[in-house]
Structures are given as structure tokens and as C-alpha cells.
Amino acid sequence: MITIHILNGPNLNLLGQREPGLYGHRSMPDFMVELKQRFPNHRLELYQANREDTLIDLLHESALKADAVVLNAGAYTHTSLALGDAVKAIGIPVIEVHISNVFSREEVRHHSYIAAGCIGTITGFGLEGYALAVQHLIGLDQKKSGLQS
């Protein structure tokens, strides 16, 4: 059993209502119910913050309380050197997720301050991106514990 923190950044508390053409009609708490059912042997905890400093504090806490992080930093992805530094500082695996395909959008969204510190980036698969990230992190842990070759 591993603990994975799912950290969502600004405006992602509005999922389901916010630009549904881009981000879909489903709220994150609703999707979390499904996600927990799909990975019943692991602890998945959702946190959301609109403020950059709070997101940094959440990452620091994840280092103490979680085995890995799935991070959708929203627009801070493209602006926050501090958040990128925090990802590099915490010493546990982080996967960057974006619901939309950031590379098919405005050029300002093509750069990520987070990506270099992450083990990988998943973008454009809708909410399913969170599930793909969780699946990968569980697989990584199983490899580490020698349960899989």
C-alpha cells in the first residue's frame, strides 16, 4: 500500500464548471470516488490550492506524508520557478499532469517550470491522466519492492 498525494493548483477547484469544452463536465471530488475504487489497495488523497505558496507548502508536506505526488499545477506550471524548485527539493517521485493538451494551446503553455523535476508529464488525456499517473507510480513502487521484474 502506498500513499499518493494528488495536488491540484489554481482554478482546478472549479473543474466541472470551468471551460467544460477544455476540462470536461466532471468535478475532481466526483472523479476521486472513481479513482479510489480503481486503486483500492492504495491511499489516494486530493489537495487543492489556488495560492502558489500553499502549493509549495503542500509539496513539502507530501515529502513527509506520501510516497509520491501527482501534480497539476495549473497556470503556475508556466510561471513558477519556485514550484519547480519545490518539486526538485522534495525527493519523492512526482508526475506532472495536465487535463488539456498544453502543446495544442497558446505558446505560453508549452513551457513548464515543473517538468524537469518530474519523472514524466501526462498531458491531454483528460481526467484519465491522473489515473495513468497513479498506475505508473504504483508500478514504480512495486518494482522498487521487487514484486515485479
Least CB distance to ligand DQA at residue 12 (A): 6
Of 2 and 73, CB closest to ligand DQA: 73
Min separation Cβ 96 and ligand DQA, Å: 9
Q: Which long-range contacts (CB under 8 A, 24 or more apart) does 130-134 make?
A: 130/6, 130/31, 130/35, 130/70, 130/72, 130/97, 131/35, 131/38, 133/70, 133/95, 133/97, 134/4, 134/6, 134/35, 134/39, 134/42, 134/44, 134/70
Residues 106-125 that bind ligand DQA (CB under 6 A): 109
Footprint on residues 35-94 left by ligand DQA (CB under 6 A): 72, 74-75, 77
Is 23 part of the annotated catalytic residue set?
Answer: yes
CB nearer to ligand DQA: pick between 55 and 99: 99
Q: Tell the residue number behind the cell numbers 506532472, with chain if given.
A: 96
Whether residue 136 lies in the annotated active site: no
- The burial class, CB within 10 Å (0-12 / 13-18 / 19+), for 24 is middle
Least CB distance to ligand DQA at residue 135 (A): 18
Choosing from 5, 42, 76, 98, the catalytic residue is 98
3-class SS of residue 36: helix
The yes or no reply on residue 5 touching ligand DQA (CB under 6 A) is no
For ligand DQA, how many residues bind (rule: CB under 6 A)? 10
The smaller minimum CB distance to ligand DQA, of residues 111 and 144, is found at 111
CB distance 75 to 48 below 8 Å: no
User: Cβ of 6: how many Cβ atoms within 10 Å?
Assistant: 24
* Catalytic residue IDs: 23, 98
- Report the interface residues with ligand DQA, using CB under 6 A: 11, 72, 74-75, 77, 98-100, 102, 109
